[in-house]
Amino acid sequence: MADGLAFRLRSGVLAPLEDHLAAILITSLQCFAQVRRLLPPLLRRHRMALLTAPAVFAALLLFWAVLGGTDADYVLYKDATKPVEDRVADLLRRMTLAEKIGQMTQIERLVATPDVLRDNFIGSLLSGSGSVPRKGATAKEWQDMVDGFQKACMSTRLGIPMIYGIDAVHGQNNVYEATIFPHNVGLGTTRDTYLVKRIGEATALEVRATGIQYAFAPCIAVCRDPRWGRCYESYSEDRRIVQSMTELIPGLQGDVPKDFTSGMPFVARKNEVAACAMHFVGDGGTVDGINKNNTIINREGLMNIHMPAYKNAMDKGVSTVMISYSSWNGVKMHANQDLVTGYLKDTLQFKGFVISDWEGIDRITTPAGFLLGQGFHSCRP
């Protein structure tokens, strides 16, 4: 999104554009590589985790063409035998500014068409609440929809696979006949971290069965005022319970290896999804429990109450972090360079990608929402 790019370049609120884009591309290529590596058993089962057969065959034809071509035809970023970081660096060198902007934009499926995806080089889509292929759509219909979007994205000049996200916050709750689990407030009362991890595993499996790679979960807000209308999304008012419940992350993504470096994004296998720790930070502490309001607390209080679960999320390899609509002492979190860049990326050494909440960048303009009136809408940069 153009405004998101301009905001990054003008204020430096988030990491440099190419560093942030590299994190997105690394996640995308890692997810896509899992499908290609596991193609034979997946085809035998007739259920694709990320992409169904047509899109995978198209990708494989491209892959074989690259490996079978001459040295002059060789393209590093398409070579799956090379390190992902090297492939991403090669890809970034080839991208135009428009392609970089498109890759950093996530749009709602309702405004997505093959032409929109191709013409704008879109890197990610999502289903908002209740946004479904049709009422009562089956898992196969979800797969077909995601595959159609994926084929459009793969047909661009550079053929970069997209990432599809969904609010699977208590199971794959947007999908008909999916397994539905209690909301976080109920799970927190159990104090059962093993149960929460198993719920993450089951959720990941059912999200993958619909062709989707990315779940907007867990919410690790610490709800300090029961008047907050989203307290049901919080595991507890006690940050220690919230910290323990970050076990949902290895449930969704898989367990990190013993030599894992905290802050690195991690997705283990084909049956796992990229998780999202949200909403950074202090969304559960707003004045009078008013949603999207101001959290008034000193730095020590913020670090002792609202921040600890994010360190646990880093240790467990969370792939993405979503920024909160709320403010901290009058500064919008989407505009908080100190916390987003200085603390999350520099102190916690988070190397995954940061995503805005729904139109969160637009909400920090003056007047609020100005860019919405300029034709920018239904997206997350």
- Indicate the domain borders of the chain: 2-380
Phi, psi of 372 (to 5 degrees): -60, -35
Pair type for strands 379-380 and 106-108: antiparallel
The dotted CATH code for 2-380 is 3.20.20.300
CA distance 212 to 202: 14
Q: Which residues does the chain have with pLDDT short of 50?
A: 1-15, 35-36, 38-69, 374-378
The residue written with tokens 């009362």 in the block is: 189
CA distance 86 to 209: 30
What tokens were used for 154?
A: 């793969």
Opening angle at CA 22, ends 16 and 27, nearest 5: 135
253 HSE (CA, 13 A, CB side): 32
Element (H, E) at 250: helix 248-253
What tokens were used for 83?
A: 């390190």
In the prediction, which pLDDT does 369 show?
A: 60
In the prediction, which pLDDT does 24 show?
A: 77
Task: Decide: 171 and 206 in contact? Cβ < 8 Å.
Answer: yes
CA distance 119 to 84: 26
Nearest to 105 by CA among 7, 219, 190: 7
In the prediction, which pLDDT does 59 show?
A: 42
In the prediction, which pLDDT does 40 show?
A: 41
Element (H, E) at 331: strand 331-332
Strand order from edge to edge, sheet including 327-328? 294-295, 327-328, 331-332
In the prediction, which pLDDT does 371 show?
A: 53
In the prediction, which pLDDT does 372 show?
A: 54
CA distance 92 to 123: 14
Q: How many CB atoms lie within 10 A of CB 262?
A: 16
pLDDT digits (tens, 9 = 90+) for 296-348: 999 999 999 999 999 999 999 999 999 999 999 999 999 999 999 999 999 99
CA distance 195 to 276: 19
Opening angle at CA 197, ends 191 and 199, nearest 5: 100
